[in-house]
């Protein structure tokens, strides 16, 4: 339960009194003229400026680390996040999942000076939230603690990072959980779709798409965790985000003391390696006896050289109009609202920081209407490449980006996290200062040019998971069949054993 989840009677009375005072202007406003229709309401322009990152960035005394500190005295809480340069990209190819399991055991497996139970008990006593998570290209260690307990919270955080115990009994528990999750990998068609999509776009050997088998999981023992920690967990490339009830000079001195003496890890190439794999276009399918087929369509996107390039704003607006904008997007309007073929449809254009990621479109529809929905999706894909978008679509899309932009900076934690992410990606903070101006400058011609340049029908891969005997013929009305796609040919990808990832024998 949150420390602030319970309020006393005195507090509730005070809050009620505050609410009455806050309502007084509303009562006064009731006497003023109110427009008869909501669209006639007028509001003052939002006056918002992005905080200057230079004033929040610190390096002195941190031994090469970079920290962003954003004070916020509203609550007696401090949030500290350390971004470390390790993750799946530093795993041995034969041990996929090692980075994630290492991170998990660092938190639940105790330290050299504390058993797991002692560590948990002390964290609970401090009401401190401490965690470690690892992804493809980075690992994140975090602490949220009451400001008067900051020193002891930092002691726990850095003890966990620098001196993990990797308790064997906890390791067995976490491996057991991971094995149970593996057994369920074919239960949800979305998991099958994600697995095959990763392999389709990146190949099975790239760390961003690798999947562990039960045998590989079993091979991750305590020695493997200790070795991975020794080799990859160090202060080099460290980026720190701090927010909350702190004085910058004071909190940085506290962190610097705990960084002192932390041994460097083995050097690693940065940025992580680009996938050496070329996706093959075509129609692919995986057999799964479910009533709704799940579909993803796409190709590789692009890597960003200059985050302030105006074409990126045009790409964002283009994708928003196509399928990224929810109920205002073309895919949702046609596939869901007009035809009722799916609960939702969407598109996403990935902007790769280190390598080209993916552009994808997707939906789920009952098996007989998968083909018709796909026909509509590809029609909209072609239409945004063929003709300019309307001025109304431009107005709505650009307005949504500009109006919601301040939300990225609405809390001290978000400000610190955003600028820390810039540091990790090598993205200039100028990206944010000129963001709204670049969005507002986008016109229909730029959207059309972006679509024609970055959406390529010749490279599209279509992946379908579902019952093919019901999907292939199409709907009873004869509006579309799957024979219309992929040149009339489809490649069957086998459903795989969830533990070995070897193809399952046909029933």
Contacts by 221-229, CB closer than 8 A, 24 or more apart: 221/171, 222/166, 222/168, 222/171, 224/95, 224/98, 225/98, 225/101, 225/102, 225/105, 225/164, 225/166, 225/171, 226/166, 228/90, 228/91, 228/98, 228/99, 228/102, 229/102, 229/106, 229/164, 229/166
Question: Is residue 385 in some structural domain?
Answer: yes
CB 356 within 8 A of CB 208: no
Question: Is residue 45 in some structural domain?
Answer: no
For residues 289 and 429, state if they share a domain.
yes
For residues 247 and 288, state if they share a domain.
no
CATH number at residue 406: 3.30.830.10
Question: Is residue 213 in some structural domain?
Answer: yes
> 359: helix, coil or strand?
strand
The number of distinct structural domains making up the chain is: 2
For residues 478 and 363, state if they share a domain.
yes
- Distances 297 to 239, 255, 269, 373 between C-alpha atoms, Å: 36, 46, 32, 12
Last residue of a domain, one of 259, 290, 309: 259
Last residue of a domain, one of 201, 227, 259: 259
For residues 253 and 288, state if they share a domain.
no
Question: Is residue 13 in some structural domain?
Answer: no
For residues 465 and 347, state if they share a domain.
yes
CB 249 within 8 A of CB 56: no
For residues 190 and 299, state if they share a domain.
no
For residues 460 and 331, state if they share a domain.
yes
Question: Is residue 445 in some structural domain?
Answer: yes
Question: Is residue 44 in some structural domain?
Answer: no
Per-residue pLDDT of the chain (507 residues; tens, 9 = 90+): 333 333 343 333 333 444 434 444 444 444 457 889 988 888 887 789 999 999 999 999 999 999 999 999 999 999 999 999 999 999 999 999 999 999 999 999 999 999 999 999 999 999 999 999 999 999 999 999 999 999 999 999 999 999 999 999 999 999 999 999 999 999 999 999 999 999 999 999 999 999 999 999 999 999 999 999 999 999 999 999 999 999 999 999 999 999 999 999 999 889 998 998 999 999 999 999 999 999 999 999 999 999 999 999 999 999 999 999 999 999 999 999 999 999 999 999 999 999 999 999 999 999 999 999 999 999 999 999 999 999 999 999 999 999 999 999 999 999 999 999 999 999 999 999 999 999 999 999 999 999 999 999 999 999 999 999 999 999 999 999 999 999 999 999 999 999 999 999 876
Question: Is residue 181 in some structural domain?
Answer: yes
For residues 341 and 390, state if they share a domain.
yes
The residue segments making up the domain with residue 183 are 53-259
Last residue of a domain, one of 227, 259, 291: 259
For residues 305 and 234, state if they share a domain.
no
Question: Is residue 10 in some structural domain?
Answer: no
For residues 316 and 459, state if they share a domain.
yes
134 membership: H or E segment, kind and range: strand 129-134
For residues 203 and 130, state if they share a domain.
yes
Q: What is the pLDDT of residue 32?
A: 59
For residues 224 and 326, state if they share a domain.
no
């Amino acid at each position: 339960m949150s420390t602030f989840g319970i309020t006393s009677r005195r507090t509730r009375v005070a809050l009620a009194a505050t609410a009455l005072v806050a309502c007084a202007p509303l009562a006064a406003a009731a006497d003023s003229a109110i427009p008869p229709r909501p669209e006639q309401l007028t509001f003052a322009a939002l006056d918002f400026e992005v905080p200057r990152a230079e004033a929040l960035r610190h390096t002195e005394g941190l031994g090469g680390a970079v920290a962003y500190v954003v004070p916020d005295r509203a609550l007696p809480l401090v949030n500290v996040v350390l971004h470390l340069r390790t993750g799946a990209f530093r795993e041995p190819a034969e041990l996929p999942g090692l980075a994630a399991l290492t991170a998990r055991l660092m938190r639940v497996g105790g330290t050299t000076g504390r058993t797991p139970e002692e560590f948990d008990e002390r964290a609970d006593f401090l009401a401190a939230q401490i965690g470690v998570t690892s992804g493809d290209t980075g690992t994140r260690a975090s602490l949220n603690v009451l400001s008067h307990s900051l020193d002891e919270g930092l002691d726990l955080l850095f003890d966990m990072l620098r001196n993990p115990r990797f308790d064997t009994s906890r390791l067995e528990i976490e491996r057991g959980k991971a094995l149970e999750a593996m057994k369920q990998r074919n239960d949800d068609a979305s998991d099958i779709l994600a697995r095959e999509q990763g392999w389709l776009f990146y190949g099975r050997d790239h760390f961003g798409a690798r999947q562990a088998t039960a045998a590989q999981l079993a091979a991750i023992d305590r020695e493997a965790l200790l070795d991975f920690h020794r080799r990859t967990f160090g202060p080099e490339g460290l980026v720190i985000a701090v927010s909350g009830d702190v004085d910058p000079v004071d909190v940085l001195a506290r962190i610097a003391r705990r960084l002192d003496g932390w041994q460097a890890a083995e050097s690693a190439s940065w940025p992580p390696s680009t996938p050496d794999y070329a996706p093959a276009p075509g129609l692919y399918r995986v057999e799964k006896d479910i009533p709704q087929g799940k579909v993803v369509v796409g190709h590789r996107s692009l890597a960003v050289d200059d985050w302030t390039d105006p074409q990126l704003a045009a790409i964002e607006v283009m994708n928003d109009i196509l399928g990224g904008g929810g109920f205002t997007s073309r895919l949702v309007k046609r596939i869901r609202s007009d035809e009722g073929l799916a609960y939702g449809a969407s598109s996403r254009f990935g902007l790769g920081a280190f390598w080209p990621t993916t552009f994808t479109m997707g939906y789920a529809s009952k098996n007989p209407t998968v083909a018709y929905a796909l026909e509509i999706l590809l029609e909209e894909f072609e239409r945004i490449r063929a003709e300019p978008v309307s001025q109304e679509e431009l107005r709505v899309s650009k307005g949504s980006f500009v109006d919601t932009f301040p939300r990225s900076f609405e809390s001290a934690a978000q400000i610190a996290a955003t600028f820390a992410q810039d540091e990790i990606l090598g993205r200039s903070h100028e990206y944010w200062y000129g963001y709204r101006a670049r969005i507002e400058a986008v016109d229909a011609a730029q959207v059309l040019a972006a679509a024609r340049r970055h959406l390529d029908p010749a490279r599209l891969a279509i992946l379908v998971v579902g019952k093919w005997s019901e999907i292939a013929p199409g709907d009873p009305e004869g509006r579309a069949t799957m024979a219309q796609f992929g040149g009339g040919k489809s490649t069957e990808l086998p459903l795989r054993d969830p533990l070995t990832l070897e193809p399952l024998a046909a029933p």
